[in-house]
A and B are shown apart, each in its own frame.
Chain A
Amino acid sequence: METPSARELERPAIPSNRRNRVKLLALREDIPRSVYLLAGSGFIAVVLIAWAIVTYGGFISDLFLPTPTAIIDEGVRQYERGILVQDARASIYRIVVGWFIATACAVPIGVMMGNFKLIEGLLEPFIDLVRYMPVVALVPLTILWAGIGDQQKFLILFIGTFFQEVLLIMDNVKTVPHDLIRVGYTLGMSRFEILRDIILPASFPGVWDTFRITLGWTWTYLVVAELVAARDGLGRRIMEAQRYLATEQIIFGIIFIGILGLVTDYFFKITGAYFFKWTKER
């Protein structure tokens, strides 16, 4: 019933073993997309299978590592009781607000630091100092300063995000080739115009990528932010489970946070690829 198209008939028969010999481990060479995706999903599959073997096989106690089905059941339970949506909503709200405040500060300050040596010299030593302070250790101080409401959560997420983000933005701005700035000068533009019309648009793809990375970091600080006096939230649920040694609740929480982080990551990746087609070199 199938008739080969004209195109297929024209194509000379090449012995299939001679065609496209793929070297999978050639240095930096591209490999077929299918192989690439297969490797990634295959690895996850291997981890899942190993997990299934050690848990269903009874090699390991439920207390240390519950079975995959126990984790799924826990997810279903939380969803049906409405806890999951409530927690996710509370956490996403904190993440979004905390990250927005951090970003709203990091962008202008990072842009200034990237363009003006004086401001870089003024702020970088301080930022570097704070950047290495452990955020967890700042929790008592944030309670003292911001109380135990959502403000304290925002503050923790802000501290965890801002000091890293501002330096990344500074670097994004600095990657704009100096010759582009010089073009602006030769066209008679003022420094402000060059900043607005050349430096900002030129650094935007890099800044977008910084958004992607830093929002991921904000997710990792969620548990720290909800460590104290949170009534709900995904991080809170994990801390609570610790008290009752509810391992499946802990693991479900971790995986769920991971998935939400992955989704936001992909959101920025896909929108970035759409907005910034012009960055792709042929």
Chain B
Amino acid sequence: MEHPKVAVRHISHWFGSSQNGLFVLDDVSLSLAPNEFVSVVGTSGCGKSTLLNIIAGLIDPSEGDVLVDGSPVAGPGRDRGVVFQTYTLFPWMPVWKNVDFALKKSGFSKEEKQALVAHYIETVGLKGFENAYPNQLSGGMRQRVAIARALVYKPAVLLMDEPFGALDAQTRGMMQELLLSVWEEHRITVMFITHDVDEAIFMSDRVLVMTARPGEIKQEFRVDLSRPRRYEIMTSPEFVALKHAIVETIREETLKSMVSVSPATRAGR
């Protein structure tokens, strides 16, 4: 078998103390193959964002470790790019400078940087907006800049934490297609967190469903739809069948989490 790009080994995590703390992740293991697009879906609060933050190195897991290209992760690094759900552009910089900022710590020459910045701005369809400030851009455009910024320094892995979660449905659809075309052009390993099942299937090679908190990987669905994909695929029978199965799996977990929450709520009153 091919060497995995990212290997998550027996990660458990709790916030606060191990007795009274919040138990978020329970022995999660997974691996991402090189250039694979994997989505993680699950009910809200299942720990999927925590998992992403652990892989990004932004959170130190209570137990277990993460390997990128076989070497363990100790903190955040430039081998992993992250796109957050919130708008994280630097508002005092124009678009090109936001993208260029990511190259500050790279060894490229000035000309190379300029070329890279121009290329990635064009890739995300923002040619002509280089000098616009974030407050002049729509939410979708801001996230496109964030994607360009996360790709421009060529990390080995792209981690995306519900990047389109704050966008309206129409914009989100456009962004999914855009991201797919970027990914097909630049081929990079992607882990994509979402709670939108359509989005997960449409983009991914594999969809991992997490259980309710404490989260673990409940089930894995392989998406064998041909690429390149267009949005029409969402109405194909294969897509619909897969969606049905995944939604059912998530539903079970949502119900479980609702039942397990209610006695505590009652006790609190």
- What residues of chain A have their CB less than 8 Å away from a CB belonging to chain B? 177, 179-180, 182-183, 185-189, 197-198, 201-202, 204, 276-282
Contact = CB atoms under 8 A, between A and B. Distances in A.
Given A182-B58, A182-B82, A201-B92, A188 B133 contact: no
Contacts of B136: 282
Contacts of A180: 88, 90
B61 interface: no
B104 interface: yes
Given A277-B133, A278-B91, A281-B135, A186 B80 contact: yes
A96 to B, nearest CB: 27
A204 B133 CA distance: 17
Interface of B: 56-58, 75-78, 80-82, 84, 86, 88, 90-92, 101-102, 104-105, 133-136, 150, 153
23 contacts: A177-B88, A179-B84, A182-B58, A182-B82, A183-B88, A185-B57, A186-B56, A186-B58, A186-B76, A186-B77, A187-B153, A188-B77, A188-B105, A189-B104, A189-B105, A198-B90, A202-B90, A202-B92, A204-B92, A278-B134, A278-B135, A280-B135, A282-B135
Contacts of B75: 185
Contacts of A185: 57-58, 75-76
Given A183-B88, A188-B77, A278 B133 contact: yes
Interface SS of chain A: helix, strand, loop or mixed?
helix
A187 B88 contact: no
A127 to B, nearest CB: 29
B84 A182 contact: yes
Interface of B is mostly: loop
A179 B56 CA distance: 13
Nearest to B84: A179
Contacts, number: 63
A17 B135 CA distance: 36
A51 to B, nearest CB: 44
Contacts of B86: 177, 179
B229 to A, nearest CB: 28
A183 B82 contact: yes
Residue from A182, A183, A197, A280 with most neighbouring chain B CB atoms (10 Å): A183
Contacts of B76: 182, 185-186, 188
B269 to A, nearest CB: 32
A278 B82 contact: no
A279 B135 contact: yes
B135 A186 contact: no
A201 B102 CA distance: 16
Nearest to B56: A186
A204 B90 CA distance: 13
A278 B91 CA distance: 6
A187 B150 CA distance: 8
A105 B58 CA distance: 32
B92 A187 contact: no
Nearest to B137: A282
A282 B101 CA distance: 24
Contacts of B56: 186
B80 to A, nearest CB: 7
Contacts of A204: 92
B90 A201 contact: yes
A187 B101 contact: yes
B84 A278 contact: no
B138 to A, nearest CB: 9
Contacts of A188: 76-78, 105
Contacts of B102: 187
Chain A to chain B: the 3 pairs with minimum beta-carbon distance, closest first:
A185-B76, A188-B78, A186-B82
A280 B153 CA distance: 30
B247 to A, nearest CB: 30
A277 B81 CA distance: 29
A109 to B, nearest CB: 24
Nearest to A277: B133
A189 B101 CA distance: 11
Given A188-B105, A202-B92, A278-B133, 12 more contacts: A185-B76, A186-B77, A186-B81, A186-B82, A186-B150, A187-B102, A187-B105, A188-B76, A202-B91, A279-B135, A280-B135, A281-B135
A185 B102 CA distance: 11
Contacts of A187: 78, 101-102, 104-105, 153
Contacts of B135: 278-282
Contacts of A179: 84, 86, 88
| Most A-side CB within 10 Å, residue of B76, B78, B134, B136 | B76
A75 to B, nearest CB: 43
Contacts of A276: 92
Nearest to A183: B88
Contacts of A202: 90-92
A179 B92 CA distance: 16
Nearest to B86: A179
B180 to A, nearest CB: 23
A179 B161 CA distance: 12
